[in-house]
A and B are shown apart, each in its own frame.
Chain A
Amino acid sequence: MKQYILKRLLLIVLTLFGLITIIFVISRVAPGDPARLAAGPDATEEMVEVLRKEFGLDKPLIVQYIDYIRGLVTGNLGRSLRTRHLVLDDLIQFFPATFELTVFSLLLAVALGIPLGVLCAVYRDRFLDHSARVFSVSGVALPMFWLALMLQLFLALKFDFLPVGGRLGMLTEAPRSITHLYLIDSVVTGNWSVFKDALRHIMLPAFVLSFPALASIIRVNRAEMLEVLNKDYIVNARAHGISKVRITGHYALKNALIPTTTMIGLRYGWMLGGTILVETVFDWPGTGLYAVQGAVFSDFQPIMGVALLVGLNFMLANLIIDLIYGVLDPRVRYE
């Protein structure tokens, strides 16, 4: 087991290394002069040269690559050309917002998706089942950013039900930082008005972000449930007069949960990708928005930092899910 984890971690490091190399190669074959942007519109050639030197952009590509890798080993992710902030500092600052949003969305998707999936299976071919089916089919086809805009339009702009964007209200002061997750920090510090404010702000983006995941969780759960419900032992149990609720809740659900669990790791990664769109619409100060701003300004190091962070998260999540899977399904062995 320990060996298995070590092996997986090593693989993650190697994959990240490959990821860096690939992005590096692609990024540096591209033309363009990011130093000029950072220097400002009126900068003289001399001033642009100062920046180029400072950021090592005057060195050959291979040297830049080695410098970057060397920096990574010491925990230095480079510096944004545009803002001159350390990328690591920025990521530490912006990632909690993204993490909070993603995890909340995931919980939302699971909390709504599993019961709905079960209900669909139990009430197969009834109204609920059909509407859930339409919902889950359309869930993946809906452009996330458009759904976000439409919800903003109706729930926030037309009817003043939820805030349009941001993490907190204009004058709400962020709770004392413990985890940097506002929802948790506000509870820990007992600051309920902030909690409510944070909850109101996270609702719309989280719903939009969870939408595709919700669709597939319902679908998978329904299919699994149907399969399990037709298994001999369930039929047997029913013949023995065990109540339907107990059968559904206890025996069937437990088995149906396994495939859902495996999906969650994948979904977490997809959601991190989705934050790029959702954070843009909802002005959510996280790494997605940060990456978009980097891309628009051809600011290379921040995008690279976000790519690494997301890749790492994605792979770690999958590792954790694989381990949990082993607990849920005793037949799995790690080699």
Chain B
Amino acid sequence: MKSRLWKLMLVALIGGILIFSGTAQALEVRDGKKILVFGGRQPAPNIDPSQYYDWSTRMLQQSLYDALLKYVESPPKIVPWLAEKWEVSPDAKVWTFHLVKNAKFHNGDPVTAEAVKFSFDRTLSIKKGPAWMLLDVLDPSGIKVIDDYTIQFTLSKPYAPFVAVLPWWYIMNPKVVKAHEKGNDQGQEWMKDGDAGSGPFKKKRWEHGVLYEMEAVADYWRGWENPNHPDGIIYRLIRESSSQRIAIQKGQCDIVEGLSPEDYDVVAKYPGIYVTNDPGLTTFGVKMSNQKGYTKDVNIRKAISYAFDYDSLIKIYNGNAILEDSPFPIGLKGHVPTDIYRQDLKKAKEYMEKAGHPDGGFELEYVYVQGLEEERKIGLVLIDNLSKLGIKVKMVPLTWPNMVARGSKAETSPDMMAVFVTPIFNDPDVVAYQYHKGSWGKYYGSAHYNNADVWELTDKARTISNWEERAKIYEKIQQVIKDDAPEIFGMQYNRRWAFRDHVKGFVFCPMRFTGEVDLYPLYIEK
């Protein structure tokens, strides 16, 4: 009996091995079609352009939809897209756009001024997603259809950065949306998984939590620059970086994002893989409470700014980051370098003395988003650096909503709060306004920075449509903010992706989010 049993088990074991020693799958081509697989960590549960955006969502939105204008290249520029040209009144209030005549939605309907008006109305009235960008300056009543291919926006107050916002307002097909309205939900229920766009790709297979597949629109109205464009794209969810790494190494994925700096360096050495490395516009800073506690004193803030070891920021990113040299990110329109703070313990101690705390002896909170690796590491660096001034640092990880809630009021705002900010559009106003009183209550306004001169200048710059004039104002703003040291001005990390060699045509544009790739220009070359 004994031997029979063992034999049986042996057979089972061998059988198991035979079943499981699988073969590598042939990828890229299915039914003669070239399909690119993008391995990303963040799901896209709601792709309605009026409801939601984050990097993964917007990558899909940019593929399925078109906007009036589009951001391309680095440094970022705005190119005509659905709108071929536009005019603006000198007071930056009335904007007129002329649409291209050959654009059509996925179901064949033409993209008209009516559709543009419908889309803007929808986003403004649903009041979600990108609505905040224009809620203050644009009312639905200010949008006028001049003729089928001309549309005019009259803003409620002058807003010079208007054009910079438009690439994020996607145009939807009114017929499709209206056909799927439920009650008065304006199609929100259907549109979170729906496709009412005119973009280069259309929706194919949606498996939430697993993958999103799109197929190329063969007769895309704008055409394809390269005949070898992918016939389809699969955005595949891979939530763990070691899995992502394996996937790109084995060629199961063609593009991956979100690897650790160490992992990028490892895969870059693999044959058949290249890793891009471009400076982004996302800034990292540690906002200090300007309204209460020890950091209310500008001397303490300067002491901290001088005590911080800026080089460790670069090390955390394995050299793939640049230090900020101004409150405005390098590469943003209107940025000028300033004489920024660098580590200088002597100066730091001088400022501690000026503040009346030569030996420190107090504790500051450092609040950051729970789970964000880099913010956590930077907190550890702060503990180390500030201990030299006799300042203790208490690390407080919070979920995003809790952190925002704390930062929203001057009384509860943490002493130090780690914040990544990505300028959503390419205009200095987007950063300058973060230091405006109007940003108090927002996560990037948690410092509750208080300088009426800066506020006034910011308001004034918005109303001028002449760029040279505006640029001078922004130069001054940057200098003043730097002197007030409302935060530790940190770094801008590089955006990185790993690609398989056969993926070509990648165009980096820092206006896109970290992780987000413009899929339209990609093509395949074997």
Output the least CB separation between B247 and chain A (Å).
7
Q: Chain B residues with Cβ under 8 A from A203's Cβ?
A: 20
Q: Is there contact, CB below 8 Å, between A85 and B192?
A: yes
A62 at the interface (CB under 8 A from B): no
Number of interface residues of B (CB under 8 A): 58
Select one of A36, A90, A161, A164 contacting B246, CB under 8 A.
Answer: A164
Q: Is there contact, CB below 8 Å, between B400 and A37?
A: yes
B127-164: which residues lie under 8 A (CB-CB) from chain A? 127-129, 131-133, 135
Q: Is there contact, CB below 8 Å, between B128 and A171?
A: no
Select one of A39, A90, A165, A197 contacting B22, CB under 8 A.
Answer: A197
Select one of B45, B243, B252 contacting A283, CB under 8 A.
Answer: B243
A167 at the interface (CB under 8 A from B): yes
Given contacts A33-B405, A83-B46, A283-B243, contact A171 B25 (CB under 8 A): yes
Question: Beta-carbon contacts of B242-271 to A below 8 Å, as 1s and 0s?
Answer: 110011001011000000000000000000
Q: For residue B136, which residue of chain A has the nearest CB?
A: A44
Q: Chain B residues with Cβ under 8 A from A156's Cβ?
A: 246
Q: Chain B residues with Cβ under 8 A from A31's Cβ?
A: 402, 405
Instruction: Identify which of B19, B39, B234 gathers the most chain A CB atoms within 10 Å of its CB.
Output: B19
Output the least CB separation between A79 and chain B (Å).
10
Q: Chain B residues with Cβ under 8 A from A266's Cβ?
A: none
B207 at the interface (CB under 8 A from A): yes
Q: Is there contact, CB below 8 Å, between B207 and A174?
A: yes
A298 at the interface (CB under 8 A from B): yes
A283 to B1, CA, bound (A): 43
Output the least CB separation between A171 and chain B (Å).
6
B239 at the interface (CB under 8 A from A): yes
B74 at the interface (CB under 8 A from A): no
B441 at the interface (CB under 8 A from A): yes
A82 to B399, CA, bound (A): 14
Question: Beta-carbon contacts of A174-210 to B below 8 Å, as 1s and 0s?
Answer: 1000000000000000000000110110010000000
B442 at the interface (CB under 8 A from A): yes
Q: For residue A47, which residue of chain B has the nearest CB?
A: B127
A297 to B54, CA, bound (A): 15
A169 to B1, CA, bound (A): 41
B236 at the interface (CB under 8 A from A): yes
Output the least CB separation between A225 and chain B (Å).
15
A11 to B353, CA, bound (A): 70
Output the least CB separation between A331 and chain B (Å).
32
Q: Chain A residues with Cβ under 8 A from B53's Cβ?
A: 40
Q: Is there contact, CB below 8 Å, between B19 and A164?
A: no
A335 at the interface (CB under 8 A from B): no
Q: Chain B residues with Cβ under 8 A from A161's Cβ?
A: 20-21
A93 to B211, CA, bound (A): 13
Q: Is there contact, CB below 8 Å, between B405 and A32?
A: yes
Output the least CB separation between A268 and chain B (Å).
23
Q: Is there contact, CB below 8 Å, between B210 and A85?
A: no
Given contacts A50-B127, A298-B401, contact A200 B20 (CB under 8 A): yes
A4 to B238, CA, bound (A): 47
Given contacts A156-B246, A157-B242, A296-B371, contact A93 B208 (CB under 8 A): yes
B22-43: which residues lie under 8 A (CB-CB) from chain A? 22, 25, 27, 30, 35, 37, 39, 43
B356 at the interface (CB under 8 A from A): no
B209 at the interface (CB under 8 A from A): yes
Question: Beta-carbon contacts of A266-306 to B below 8 Å, as 1s and 0s?
Answer: 00000000000000010101000110000011100000000
Output the least CB separation between B194 and chain A (Å).
13
A151-168: which residues lie under 8 A (CB-CB) from chain B? 152, 156-157, 160-162, 164-167
B201-218: which residues lie under 8 A (CB-CB) from chain A? 207-210
Instruction: Identify which of A167, A169, A170, A298 gathers the most chain B CB atoms within 10 Å of its CB.
Output: A170
Q: Is there contact, CB below 8 Å, between B129 and A169?
A: no
A255 to B155, CA, bound (A): 83
Q: Is there contact, CB below 8 Å, between A39 and B46?
A: no
B52 at the interface (CB under 8 A from A): yes
Q: Is there contact, CB below 8 Å, between A172 and B25?
A: yes
Select one of A40, A50, A171 contacting B37, CB under 8 A.
Answer: A171
Select one of B45, B131, B441 contacting A83, CB under 8 A.
Answer: B45
Output the least CB separation between A213 and chain B (Å).
20
Q: Chain B residues with Cβ under 8 A from A281's Cβ?
A: 240
Q: Is there contact, CB below 8 Å, between B399 and A170?
A: no
A119 to B1, CA, bound (A): 11
Given contacts A85-B45, A152-B242, A164-B246, contact A47 B131 (CB under 8 A): yes
Q: Is there contact, CB below 8 Å, between B401 and A36?
A: yes
Q: Is there contact, CB below 8 Å, between B252 and A170?
A: yes
A323 to B269, CA, bound (A): 60
Q: Is there contact, CB below 8 Å, between A171 and B234?
A: yes
A84 at the interface (CB under 8 A from B): yes
A165 to B237, CA, bound (A): 11
Q: For residue A203, which residue of chain B has the nearest CB?
A: B20
Q: Is there contact, CB below 8 Å, between B243 and A298?
A: no
Q: Is there contact, CB below 8 Å, between A40 and B402?
A: no
A-B contact pairs, 9 of them (CB 8 A): A31-B402, A32-B405, A41-B404, A42-B442, A46-B135, A84-B45, A170-B252, A245-B1, A283-B238
